[in-house]
């Protein structure tokens, strides 16, 4: 009995043992599978890491060291209207270090200083001892510097190829073209304008690829630009002035063919670009433009319909208003016709012209001509004109002959272009533009008849023997007309008769004006004893020199023996 029971129990135990063994085998299989899968995952991870390390070890330091940077982003070439390069990208080497690989920081700095004497020793030492993987030491080296540093054989340093901006013309058009910073980003001039038009976004997204960037064509003619700057540099020295400037403007399209302001700077080495005296005075400088503003005063009076070319104004006695007395510089002491007011540059006559129009009409006209608002153009460096907060009669009188409001020389030239082109105010541009495109942007600001009258007055003022102040701007064969402007500058809160800002506003050829030329001379000195320091003696000859040298390049053919000079009695 007991044996049977034992045998039965043994059979049950055998079956249980078989079940347990099967379960153990199944569990063991799953465990082995998990182990194998885990090993495979880890093997894959380590294989990927090892492969990456091998790949990086085989790379050149120039392409593998340091974080990816946008400094190498391309920029489009900038060219003049004839395709001459004004700005382009060139490749340059920049020096970096891997501090973890630097053996002796002091020795490395000592060696580098033999090639880079301006290296900041303390700052460089801190960089080399930082223990980081990458630091810049010197950006944009010359090929000679790169070769000499390579010969030093310093472990832990290398070179990275970057792009930098190169300006073949140097100072020639520096204020127009502008600058980029060390990261090849536009920070002034047309370089900044290009970034603001979307280039910066393309660079940020990695889409600024050199082969896809079309050159940016400017309205500038590099040949004329060179002439303008050459004349400005000569004038600066000849008249011992603190500054000089000029602009050549197409009156039918608003294109700026040339513009310069000296002192300027070399964009390839712009260490002094931010100096106060390097300001672009033509667009970013504000000046009382003196008697050039009488062009607009006379045009305003004629355009109002209240004054004609036959009108007369009493200039026999000075005008006293409040504590101010308005006198003429070379007064005639008699009644003057409108042409006489203009060519004799009568302050009294101009004041009476403004009085006919009235205070509100006067301000409205100057605003209509674009002289009181910030000018809209591609150049970022543009100043906002200043005017009295509340216009009173005394303000209208002084502004009529160029004192009491300040505007930029470029705006003055743009306004004068409207006086010469039939009365259309066209926004200035530094990019190429057709006449059809200009007409679409133009605003009719004066009557065509007023424009014809102003052309006559400009011609009259520059005709030899007429008594006008612009005779020294005349160039044989090119029929130049214009208006001088000699403004006393404020010194210690008072106008000084010895410190002047001179300008000459010209147009040519006067039978059908194509170009306006404006020159300025800031604080000129007398060229010779007995020779005046007014605009007729310096700013006007500058205009003549610019036109004489550049007119043929601008497509204006001379016509000798047909000057067609105006006289006081010749207007129809």
Which sequence positions are flagged as catalytic? 291
272's tokens: 């002094």
Q: Which of 160, 96, 93, 150 has its CA nearest to residue 128?
A: 96
Rounded Cα–Cα distance for residues 495 and 491 (Å): 6
Contacts of 134 (CB under 8 A, 6+ apart): 65, 66, 67, 96, 97, 98
Helix axes 409-420, 294-303, angle to 10 degrees: 40
Phi-psi region of 96 (alpha: psi -120 to 50; beta: other; left: phi over 0): beta
Per the CB < 8 A criterion, the answer to whether 228 and 528 are in contact is no
Please, how many CA atoms are within 13 Å of residue 257, restricted to the half-sphere of its CB? 23
- Residue 518 pairs in a beta bridge with 247, 505
DSSP SS3 for 294:
helix
- Quote the CA–CA distance of 506 and 241 in Å, as a whole number: 21
Any idea what the Cα angle at residue 407 is, between residues 401 and 410, rounded to 5°?
110
275 vs 270: CA distance, rounded Å:
10
Element (H, E) at 498: strand 494-508
In this structure, the strands spanning 494-508 and 515-522 are antiparallel
Q: How far is Cα of residue 139 from the mean position of the Cα atoms in its chain?
A: 25
Residues 258, 227 contacting (CB under 8 angstroms) = yes
Instruction: Give the C-alpha distances (Å, rounded to integers) separating 385 from 26, 405, 517, 550.
Output: 92, 8, 21, 31
């Amino acid at each position: 009995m007991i044996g049977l029971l034992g045998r039965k129990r043994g059979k049950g135990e055998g079956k249980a043992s078989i079940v347990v063994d099967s379960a153990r085998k199944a569990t063991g299989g799953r465990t082995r599978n998990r182990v194998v899968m885990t090993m495979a995952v880890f093997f894959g991870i380590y294989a990927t890491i090892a492969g990456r390390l091998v790949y990086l070890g085989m790379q050149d330091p120039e392409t593998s060291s340091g974080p990816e940077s946008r400094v190498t982003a391309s920029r489009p070439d900038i060219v003049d209207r004839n395709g001459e390069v004004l700005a382009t990208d060139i490749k340059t080497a920049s020096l970096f270090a891997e501090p973890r690989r630097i053996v002796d920081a002091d020795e490395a700095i000592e060696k580098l200083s033999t090639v880079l004497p301006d290296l900041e020793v303390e700052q460089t030492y801190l960089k080399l001892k930082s223990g980081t993987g990458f630091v810049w030491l010197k950006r944009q080296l010359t090929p000679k510097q790169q070769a000499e540093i390579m010969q030093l054989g310093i472990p832990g340093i290398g070179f990275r190829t970057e792009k930098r901006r190169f300006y073949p013309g140097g100072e020639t058009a520096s204020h127009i073209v502008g600058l980029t910073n060390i990261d090849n980003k536009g920070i002034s001039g047309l370089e900044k304008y290009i970034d603001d038009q979307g280039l910066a976004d393309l660079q940020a997204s990695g889409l600024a690829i050199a082969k896809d960037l079309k050159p940016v064509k400017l309205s500038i003619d590099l040949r004329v630009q060179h002439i303008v700057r050459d004349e400005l540099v000569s004038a600066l020295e000849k008249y011992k002035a603190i500054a000089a400037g000029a602009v050549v403007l197409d009156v039918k399209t608003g294109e700026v063919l040339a513009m310069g302001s000296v002192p300027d700077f070399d964009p390839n080495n712009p260490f002094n670009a931010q100096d106060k005296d390097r300001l672009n005075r033509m667009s970013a400088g504000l000046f009382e433009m003196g008697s050039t503003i009488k062009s607009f005063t006379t045009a305003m009076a004629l355009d109002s319909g209240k004054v004609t070319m036959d009108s007369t104004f009493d200039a026999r006695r000075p005008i006293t208003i409040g504590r101010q007395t308005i006198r003429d510089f070379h007064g005639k002491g008699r009644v003057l016709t409108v042409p006489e007011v203009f060519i004799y540059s009568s302050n009294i006559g101009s004041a009476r012209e403004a009085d006919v129009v009235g205070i509100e009409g006067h301000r409205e006209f100057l605003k209509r001509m674009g002289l009181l608002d910030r000018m809209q153009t591609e150049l970022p460096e543009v100043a906002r004109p200043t005017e009295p907060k509340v216009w009173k009669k005394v303000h209208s009188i002084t502004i009529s002959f160029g004192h009491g409001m300040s505007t930029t020389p470029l705006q003055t030239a743009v306004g004068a272009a409207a006086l010469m082109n039939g009365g259309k105010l066209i926004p200035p541009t530094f990019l190429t533009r057709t006449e059809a495109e200009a007409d679409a942007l133009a605003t009719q600001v004066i009557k065509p008849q007023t424009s014809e009258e102003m052309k006559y007055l400009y011609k009259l003022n520059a005709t030899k023997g007429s008594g006008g102040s612009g005779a020294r701007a005349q160039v044989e064969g090119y029929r130049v007309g214009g208006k001088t402007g000699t403004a006393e500058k404020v010194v210690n809160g008072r106008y000084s008769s010895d410190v002047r800002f001179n300008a000459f506003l010209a147009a040519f050829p006067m039978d059908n004006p194509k170009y306006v030329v404006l020159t300025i001379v800031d604080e000129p000195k007398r060229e010779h004893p007995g020779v005046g320091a007014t605009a007729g003696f310096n700013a006007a000859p500058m205009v003549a020199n610019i036109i004489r040298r550049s007119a043929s390049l601008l497509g204006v053919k001379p016509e000798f023996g047909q000057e067609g000079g105006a006289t006081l009695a010749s207007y129809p």
